[in-house]
Amino acid sequence: MAKLSEIARLVGGEVFGDGDIDIRRVAPIDGAGKGDLTFLANPKYADKLNRSQASAVLVTGGVEAPGEMARVVCANPYLAFAKALNLLQGEPPASRGVMAGAVVASSATVDEDVTVHPGCVIGENVSVGKGTLLYPGVVLYDDVTVGEDCVLHANAVVRERCRIGDRVILQPAAVIGSDGFGFAPDGPRYFKIPQVGVVVIEDDVEIGSATCVDRATLGETRVKRGAKIDNLVQIAHNVVVGEDTILVSQVGIAGSTRIGNHCTFGGQAATAGHLTVGDNVTIGGRGGVTNDIGDNQLLSGLPAMPHKEWLKASMSFGRLPEMRKEIGRMKKQIAELEKMVKEK
């Protein structure tokens, strides 16, 4: 619980109304009640706000609150909502140490201020930093490093020699450091190329459930600071994912591709291998990158093209069968006209 004025200071907002209201939680507009804080980030939900029972609301300038509802005016209500939610309902659980049923190698270094749940396996020479939380079934292979204040959810796996920074979140069943997909043709068969590199996950990265980040063949695969990766994403060997880049569900990044800072890949977007994608690039859902991409672009389609051009092209897709018939008729008419000209 916190005073509304305290929340306003946290989010950099200004209170209009009673700043001494006790706020117990953040709630959606249509489910909020007395003591709740809600938010309005999209004007189309303004009618719902008029019917809401919330005690206070986070809004942008120029938006009024109904009745006696207090409001906190801020530049970005959605960001303010996230910060308020973290304050009121995001407190991490207290440290519980290494619990019975966890298997920890004698050579591992595990800070006292951690929680290691039953069923975890921590290998030889592993280091786990202060405040980190390992849920049941987490496996850390030999020589892994995990930083401070990380959360590794159930059945996450970090393979040998990989390095995890501070404040990293691995959602359930995420796999860090699985073998890259490397095979050399050997006549009709394939010879497996040993994958002897590592994965480095920098600070403040979140990786979704069942996402795989493959270890490098040689050297490292790296996910840079602040990147956010959704569920079911595949990042192949020797890839570099830039700072604050977002990869949405089912994205696939082929081997040795380098993605710049602050990029966004929509769901099921993908790249071919050995490409470079610049900074501030957005690839629309199901977009396919087949060539290097420079900075500051918005692309869609396969192969990826400027988004506006893709919108124009996509409007023609449904008409292609009709257009094909029309072209056939026109070719026939031209042939008949050419014949008539020759006869004259």
Q: How far apart, in whole angstroms, are the C-alpha atoms of residue 163 and residue 100?
A: 26
The burial of 336, by beta-carbon neighbours within 10 Å (0-12 exposed, 13-18 middle, 19 or more buried), is given as: exposed
Instruction: Confirm if 127 and 108 have CB atoms less than 8 A apart.
Output: yes
Q: Closest Cα partner for 221 from 256, 251, 250, 193?
A: 256
DSSP assignment, residue 49? H
The candidate with the shortest Cα–Cα distance to 133, out of 142, 124, 120, is 120
Residue positions annotated with a catalytic role: 237
Where on the phi/psi map is residue 64: left (φ > 0), alpha (ψ -120 to 50), or beta? beta
Are 122 and 108 in contact by the 8 Å Cβ rule? The answer is: yes
Is residue 22 helix, strand or coil?
strand
Contact indicator for 128, 109 with CB cutoff of 8 Å? yes
180 CB-contact burial (10 Å; exposed 0-12 / middle 13-18 / buried 19+)? buried
Task: Write the secondary structure of 257-281 as one string of H (helix), E (strand) and C (coil).
Answer: CEECCCCEECCCCEECCCCEECCCE
